[in-house]
Amino acid sequence: MPGQESRPWLFEHRSPLDTSHERCVGDACLKRYIFNPRRSAMFMPKVLHIGPCDSPGGMANVMRILAEHPPEGWDAELLPSHVVGSPWAKWRAYRKARATLKGMLSNPEHRPDVVHLHTAADWSWYRKMKFLRILQRNAIPAIVHIHSGKFDAWLNSCSSRKQGLIHKILQHPLTTGVVLSHAWKCRLESQLGELLVVSNPIKLGLEPSTEPRLKHNLLLLGRDSAVKGHDFAIELAKHLRSEFSELTLTLTGRTQAEPSWIRGLGWVAEDEKLRLLQNSSILLVPSFQVEELFEQLHLLQQQANDLTRPGQRPDELYIV
């Protein structure tokens, strides 16, 4: 969100690579540039995640969960390539991340075994493509994880020459393209080449809630973007209020105070997001792709016992 401060993800131990200034609060150290959840990074194979791990949003949450739960026998580190701020601040963050990556590759003790790039569309892709070229020149296996909900629209807006370059760089023998669902695989594979489907991870260890649910409360989670469906949710709520006058709508990602029955919370932390899921009546998951919608519902169903009180698992799903 504009003006929203970056929130560094805190791990217990500092990476041996990190030489930046740190400010300690209790046992946690803030303002670190490279993060490592374990002490053993120098002695185990390592995956390095590059992307907006310090910026509010879903990509950062995915990166944090993956870094906290690397493959068995592996360590993981996070390298932020984005900050919330001016274009100049974003450019400096990218340049700093690129310089750091080059430094890691030149040092056998810090050199990652695999690099996992997290990308959206447009300028996010172009920045990650520069990282990818560095990795390919240094023979480092790379995963390109496409998160954007508008990647296909952006790709179709590119010239045929640019589309060919994107296809070529993703078909490098040491590079693997990853999308979040089979629907995205079907939409992108003809232009990008072979893609793997890997669903986003879900945070483990969620505790059931004992608080009562809000009556007639709709919830939509997501950043303020057309692909997330905020306007659709508002129109739906207006239509339903003709029959349910007490209905309210809660939105994340957008700050909105009018009308009074809409609560726009802006960016929310993960613990607040969980509380909203536990207390709301209905979760709205707008999607133009039915296949993608059912995949999301399947993931929600798998985690329902973690998000609801014992014995109160939702047994009905409605598609509007």
Which pLDDT tens digit goes with each residue over 27-65? 433 333 444 545 444 567 899 999 998 887 778 888 988
Instruction: Tell me the average pLDDT of the chain.
Output: 77
Query: Residue 68 has what pLDDT?
Result: 86
CA-to-CA distance for 172 and 184, rounded, in angstroms?
20
CB atoms within 10 A of CB 142: 26
Q: Where are the beta strands (DSSP E) in 174-308?
A: 175-179, 195-197, 217-220, 248-251, 262-264, 282-284
| Integer Rg of the chain from CA | 21
CA-to-CA distance for 217 and 247, rounded, in angstroms?
6
CATH number of the domain where residue 56 is located: 3.40.50
Query: Residue 304 has what pLDDT?
Result: 46
CATH number of the domain where residue 258 is located: 3.40.50.2000
Range of the domain at 61: 13-197
Q: 103: pLDDT confidence band, cut at 50, 70 and 90?
A: very high
**Average pLDDT, integer, range 101-130:** 92
In a domain, 50, yes or no: yes
The domain tally of the chain equals 2
Q: 208: pLDDT confidence band, cut at 50, 70 and 90?
A: low
In a domain, 6, yes or no: no
185 has a pLDDT exceeding 80: yes
**Which of 289, 283, 242 minimizes the C-alpha distance to 261?**
242
In a domain, 313, yes or no: no
CA-to-CA distance for 238 and 249, rounded, in angstroms?
9
Task: Bin 157: left if φ > 0, else alpha if -120 < ψ < 50, else beta.
Answer: alpha
Q: 79: pLDDT confidence band, cut at 50, 70 and 90?
A: very high
- Which residue is listed with tokens 């594979």? 189
Q: Are residues 237 and 287 in the same domain?
A: yes
In a domain, 7, yes or no: no
Q: Are residues 192 and 293 in the same domain?
A: no
305 or 55: which leads in pLDDT? 55
In a domain, 318, yes or no: no
Q: Are residues 134 and 264 in the same domain?
A: no
Are the C-beta atoms of residues 64 and 53 closer than 8 Å to each other?
yes
In a domain, 255, yes or no: yes
Report which secondary-structure segment, H or E, holds 118: strand 114-119
CA-to-CA distance for 82 and 63, rounded, in angstroms?
13
Query: Residue 44 has what pLDDT?
Result: 78
* Torsion (CA) 273, 274, 276, 279 in degrees, nearest 10: 180
